[in-house]
Amino acid sequence: MSNPPLLEVEGLTVEFETYGGVVKAVRGVDFTVEAGEVMAIVGESGCGKSVTVQSLMGIIPMPPGRITAGSARLNGAELLGLEPRAANAFRGKEIGMIFQDPMTSLNPTMTIGDQIAETLKVHRGIPGQQAFESAIKLLEMTHIPEARKRATQYPFEFSGGMLQRAMIAQSLACSPSLLIADEPTTALDVTIQAQLLDLTNTLQAQDAMAVILITHDLAVVARTAQKVCVMYAGQIIEHGSVDDIFYQSAHPYTLGLKSAMPSNIGDREKSLDPIPGSPPDLFSPPLGCGYAPRCPHAMRVCHEENPPFFKDSNNTGHATRCWLQAPNAPSVPELYQSNKIASDGA
């Protein structure tokens, strides 16, 4: 630990006040991102991935949203609870962000070039024409053909993939040290996805920029990330290197996600195994592990007490919030046996 991490998030807790009650969307999330590293956050819809990163940027609607606890430090400077003016000193400058749906994420009545140039004008004080020239260079950098002509066009004249390239160009305008990509390829088809991921990888490597990639697509994670956080019901339930998560998966939820993933290697007739049930109601989060009701290996303690992180014995930073990883926990074969006996008896 020679250098402090680029981004350090501790105990982030976010709630939303709704008519139905208080939704505890993010329940104490910790993670760190080192400079130049790609970290993926995976999890199913509604698990709090987007809320986590959007609260870092200060762009969750408040009210109804509120950050009730936690801190997030970028190079040691606190990000949470800033006044808009102070927050704007890093938004778009130190941290760039791309969104899920490029079709709606750009202003329909402003040219692409102007929208990219705007970031440069605001943060760098670059005058209009010069900022527009830089915008054209940024578009060229993201491999948009005829960038000069394209810069004078409006979002409706772009295809989805082109728009996402423009979004990337816009978010990279001020060479941020961190790029947050909130499901950047979900709305796009697979070919475009691959192109964009390659593009982001190249640009990330060029500038040694760190990336937080939010996705529910494990294939995307395997392709791009070095570190992975798996989120479930507002908490990180497993984190570690991409190899740890894929080959040493320790949490039953991670295993469930993996077996629900299609593969083109091996038996094509094999059906996908969806995880039965649905995530818990975050109006009243469960006492124990959020996954326990869906978990095939759940024990009594899982329903009663939320597990802490148990570190992997390899000491690679791989840790799992699961009682099965506790030193005194029964091994899975034992459990399997006892479950089988129980179900046979019933």
Partner 1 sequence: MFRYTLGRLLSGVITVWFIATATFLAMHAVPGDPLMNEKATTAEIRENLARKYGLDRPLPEQYVIYLSNMIQGDFGISFTQQNRRVNDIIKDHFPVSAALGILAITFAALGGILWGAITALYRNQLPDIIIMFLVILGISVPSFVFAALGQLLLVNLNQWFGTSILPVAGWGTFSHMLMPSLVLGLGTMALLTRLMRSSMLEVVNEDFIKTAKAKGLSPQRIFFKHQLRNAILPVVTVLGPQIAAITTGGFVVELVFAIPGLGRYFVQAVQQLDYTVIMGTTVFYGAFLVLMVILVDIIYGFIDPRVRLK
Q: Could you list the residues that contact partner 1 (CB under 8 A)?
A: 54, 57-59, 84-85, 87-93, 96-97, 99, 101, 104-110, 118-119, 122-123, 154, 156-157, 167, 170-171
Question: Closest approach of Cβ 329 to partner 1, in Å?
Answer: 42
Do residues 192 and 144 make contact, with C-beta atoms less than 8 angstroms apart? no
Q: Is 207 exposed, middle or buried (0-12, 13-18, 19+ CB in 10 A)?
A: middle
Nearer to partner 1 among residue 16 and residue 99 (C-beta): 99
Question: Closest approach of Cβ 107 to partner 1, in Å?
Answer: 5
Nearer to partner 1 among residue 54 and residue 325 (C-beta): 54
Nearer to partner 1 among residue 100 and residue 325 (C-beta): 100
Nearer to partner 1 among residue 47 and residue 167 (C-beta): 167
Q: What is the 3-state secondary structure (H, E, C) of the chain?
A: CCCCCCEEEEEEEEEEEECCEEEEEEEEEEEEECCCCEEEEECCCCCCHHHHHHHHHCCCCCCCEEEEEEEEEECCEECCCCCHHHHCCCECCCEEEECCCCCCCCCCCCCHHHHHHHHHHHHHCCCHHHHHHHHHHHHHHCCCCCHHHHHCCCHHHCCHHHHHHHHHHHHCCCCCCEEEEECCCCCCCHHHHHHHHHHHHHHHHHHCCEEEEEECCHHHHHHHCCEEEEEECCEEEEEEEHHHHHHCCCCHHHHHHHHCCCCCCCCCCCCCCCCCCCCCCCCCCCCCCCCHHHCCCCCHHHHHCCCCCEECCCCCCCEECCHHHCCCCCCHHHHHHHHHHHHHHC
Nearer to partner 1 among residue 110 and residue 260 (C-beta): 110
Question: Closest approach of Cβ 105 to partner 1, in Å?
Answer: 4
Question: Closest approach of Cβ 248 to partner 1, in Å?
Answer: 35
Nearer to partner 1 among residue 118 and residue 238 (C-beta): 118
Question: Closest approach of Cβ 139 to partner 1, in Å?
Answer: 16
Question: Tokens representing 343?
Answer: 């179900």
Nearer to partner 1 among residue 110 and residue 341 (C-beta): 110
Question: Closest approach of Cβ 246 to partner 1, in Å?
Answer: 31
Question: Closest approach of Cβ 198 to partner 1, in Å?
Answer: 23
Question: Closest approach of Cβ 104 to partner 1, in Å?
Answer: 4
Question: Closest approach of Cβ 55 to partner 1, in Å?
Answer: 12
Do residues 269 and 286 make contact, with C-beta atoms less than 8 angstroms apart? no
Nearer to partner 1 among residue 93 and residue 294 (C-beta): 93
Nearer to partner 1 among residue 107 and residue 338 (C-beta): 107
> Cα–Cα distances in Å, from 95 out to 53, 110, 180, 211, 233?
11, 23, 7, 10, 26
